[in-house]
Structure formats: structure tokens, C-alpha cells
């Protein structure tokens, strides 16, 4: 596939006109190497499956509300209720499916927020250095040393427990990692000769920063973004478990919280097991995707 192909018309006695190299763009190269990476592909399929579940949740199951099948409370997994029922007779399967929406929403939103804050801070402090860098990194370090969980709890209590609020709060505390990675990459790229060459032909500084530097710094940012998606799903589950989740929407943490607060968790293991598996699958999928992207982009990590 990636071998050079000779031009077909090879008239006897004449040499082939040219040896054509296949067109390779960085994107094609990336796809080629990513496809060879088993973990990455597993992660990608895991996330795609969860995405499909989230999108088609209404078609797969009914939205669990109020009281469920009260004659079938706390049923263990069976043919009718695959994942069993909880203390008000609601299907755990339905809850887990609908919880996928919330978890993915939180993961994506908080990752986007941390990119929006972290990338500019990292880029500018890496590119300009000096005072800009001191200020940018001071803010980043302060955020890294903050006791995140208590602050998240306080903010969730103050802002109210809407699912968007939860996502924003998690995003506000996840960006320092992105800022650091972006800055580290920028510091290396800034010294590259193609940046100096870009300056030498009169490229605008804003273009150098946001086109030339950012695009080259993108791979590690992307990898970190997938990791942040995983950790923010964990954070959301934690907050929901502490009772700070959105009571109006089902998240995996909320299911665990219900199981815990009703005190049935000792008898009804299925209440804890299935949402936990969902969380593990999602976080692992994001991490695998991150590993896959990283290895596909970084030739030194590629396995033959």
C-alpha cells in the first residue's frame, strides 16, 4: 500500500517515466499508523459505541422518572430487567443508558472549556516568555495547588447543581494540565528554524502563534484532551456521588449515590456494579484513544 508504484505503461525498451510517490498528508499518515494501534482502535470503538448509546438512548430505553415498576423493586438482573431494578423499581439498564448522555456531555464540555482556557495561556506564556510567562504560569500553578475537590463542592453548592454547572466547574479546574503541556511544546517549537523563517518573510505575529506554533503543538494537546475527558467523567461521578450532581438528570454517579443513600447497596450489588463498569469502560476508552493518538503521532513510540 505504501510502496512506490511504478507507472503502468511500461513499454518494453523504455524506462518507466517516473516513480510516483503516493500522496501523503500528515492526516493520512496519522490514520495509517493509528489503524495499526490496537489499543487506540479499541478506545475509538468504545467511545463510538458509547456515543451511539447516548444519541439513541430514547430509542433503546424509556427515560427513567418517578417511580418505576413498584412490584418489581430491587430485582437482580433478569430477562426483563437486564441490570436489575433499584429501590423504587426503576430499571438500572435504562439509568445506565441515559447516564451515558450526561457523562459524555460533561466530558466533552469540560474538555472544551479547559482547552479554551489552557491553550491560550500556554501558547502566550510559552511564546512570549518573560513577564507573560511568569504571570501565566503563576496562575496555572495556583490552580494546580488548589484543593480541587472541596472547591468543586463549594462551587457546585453556590452555582446550583445543574449538569452544565458541573461541567463548567470541572472544566475550570482541569485546564492547568493543558496550559503546561501547551507551554512546554511552544517553548520547543518557538526555537525551530521554520518559526524564524516565518518571521523572516514578514509573517504576522498572531499568525505565527496561532497557525504555525499551535498546529505543531497540537498532538500532545489532543492526547491530553482525551485524558481530561476521562478524568472529568470521574470527577462528575464523584460529585454526583456526594449528592452534588443534577437530580433532574441521570448520571452514573447519581445511580451510585442513590444506591448508597437508600442503604441497599450491601444487598443489591447490581446497583453499584453496572454504573461502575460503565464508568470504567468510558474512562479506559478515552485513555486508550489517547495512547493510540500519541503513538500514531510520535514515531518513537510506534511499534513495528
Partner 1 sequence: MSRDKPKVLEVKHVKTRIKMESKEYAIIEEIDFHVDSKETVGIVGESGCGKSMTALSIMGLLPENASVSEGEIRLQGTNLLTISKDAYRKKRGKEMSMIFQEPMSSLNPVYTIGFQLIELLREHTTMSKAKAKKKAIEMLQTVGIPRPHEVIDEYPHQLSGGMRQRVMIAMGLACNPDILIADEPTTALDVTIQAQILELMKRLQEQFDMAILLITHDLGVVAEVCDRVIVMYAGQIVEEAPVLTLFESPNHPYTKGLIASTPKIGEGKERLHTIEGTVPQLSEMPKGCRFATRCSEVTERCIRESPPLVELSEQVRCRCWLYPKTSGVSV
Q: How far is the CB of 121 from partner 1 (least distance, A)?
A: 19
Q: How far is the CB of 298 from partner 1 (least distance, A)?
A: 14
Q: How far is the CB of 254 from partner 1 (least distance, A)?
A: 43
Closest CA to 281 of 93, 56, 64, 96: 96
DSSP assignments along 252-290, one per residue: HHHHHHHHHHTT-TTT-HHHHHHHHHHHHHHHHHHHHHH
Q: Does 200 bind partner 1 (CB under 8 A)?
A: yes
| Rounded distance between C-alpha atoms, residue 95 and residue 102, angstroms | 11
Are 102 and 275 within 8 A, CB to CB?
no
CA dihedral sign of residues 48, 49, 50, 55: positive
Residues 6+ away with beta carbon under 8 Å from 248: none
**Residues of span 1-30 touching partner 1 by CB under 8 A:** 21, 23-26
| Rounded distance between C-alpha atoms, residue 206 and residue 155, angstroms | 35
In the complex with partner 1, the residue whose CB is nearer, 129 or 220, is: 129
Q: Does 35 bind partner 1 (CB under 8 A)?
A: no
Q: How far is the CB of 200 from partner 1 (least distance, A)?
A: 4
Interaction mask 176-195, partner 1, x per CB under 8 A:
----------------xxx-
Q: Which of 38, 204, 267, 302 binds partner 1 (CB under 8 A)?
A: 204
Q: How far is the CB of 5 from partner 1 (least distance, A)?
A: 15
Q: Which of 11, 79, 201, 266 binds partner 1 (CB under 8 A)?
A: 201
In the complex with partner 1, the residue whose CB is nearer, 141 or 196, is: 196
| Rounded distance between C-alpha atoms, residue 190 and residue 127, angstroms | 6
Residue numbers at the binding site for partner 1 (CB under 8 A) = 21, 23-26, 129-130, 192-194, 196-205, 207, 212, 215-216
Amino acid at each position: 500500500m505504501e510502496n512506490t508504484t511504478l507507472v503502468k505503461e511500461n513499454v518494453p525498451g523504455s524506462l518507466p517515466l517516473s516513480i510516483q510517490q503516493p500522496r501523503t498528508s500528515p492526516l493520512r499518515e496519522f490514520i495509517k499508523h493509528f489503524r495499526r494501534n490496537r489499543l487506540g482502535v479499541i478506545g475509538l470503538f468504545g467511545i463510538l459505541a458509547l456515543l451511539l448509546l447516548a444519541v439513541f438512548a430514547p430509542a433503546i430505553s424509556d427515560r427513567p422518572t418517578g417511580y418505576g415498576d413498584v412490584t418489581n423493586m430491587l430485582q437482580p438482573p433478569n430477562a426483563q430487567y437486564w441490570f436489575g431494578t433499584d429501590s423504587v423499581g426503576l430499571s438500572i439498564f435504562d439509568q445506565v443508558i441515559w447516564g451515558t448522555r450526561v457523562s459524555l456531555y460533561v466530558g466533552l464540555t469540560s474538555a472544551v472549556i479547559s482547552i479554551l482556557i489552557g491553550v491560550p495561556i500556554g501558547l502566550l506564556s510559552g511564546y512570549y516568555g518573560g513577564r507573560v510567562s511568569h504571570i501565566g504560569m503563576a496562575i496555572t500553578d495556583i490552580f494546580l495547588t488548589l484543593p480541587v475537590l472541596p472547591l468543586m463542592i463549594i462551587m457546585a453548592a453556590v452555582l446550583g447543581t445543574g449538569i452544565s454547572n458541573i461541567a463548567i466547574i470541572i472544566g475550570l479546574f482541569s485546564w492547568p494540565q493543558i496550559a503546561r503541556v501547551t507551554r512546554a511544546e511552544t517553548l520547543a517549537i518557538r526555537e525551530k528554524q521554520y518559526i524564524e523563517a516565518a518571521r523572516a518573510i514578514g509573517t504576522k505575529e498572531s499568525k505565527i502563534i496561532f497557525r504555525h506554533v499551535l498546529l505543531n503543538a497540537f498532538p500532545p494537546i489532543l492526547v491530553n484532551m482525551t485524558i481530561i475527558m476521562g478524568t472529568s467523567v470521574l470527577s462528575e461521578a464523584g460529585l454526583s456521588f456526594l449528592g452534588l450532581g443534577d437530580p433532574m438528570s441521570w448520571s452514573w454517579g447519581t445511580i451510585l449515590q442513590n444506591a448508597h443513600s437508600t442503604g441497599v447497596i450491601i444487598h443489591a450489588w447490581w446497583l453499584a456494579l453496572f454504573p461502575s463498569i460503565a464508568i470504567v469502560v468510558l474512562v479506559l476508552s478515552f485513555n486508550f484513544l489517547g495512547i493510540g493518538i500519541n503513538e500514531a503521532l510520535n514515531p518513537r513510540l510506534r511499534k513495528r
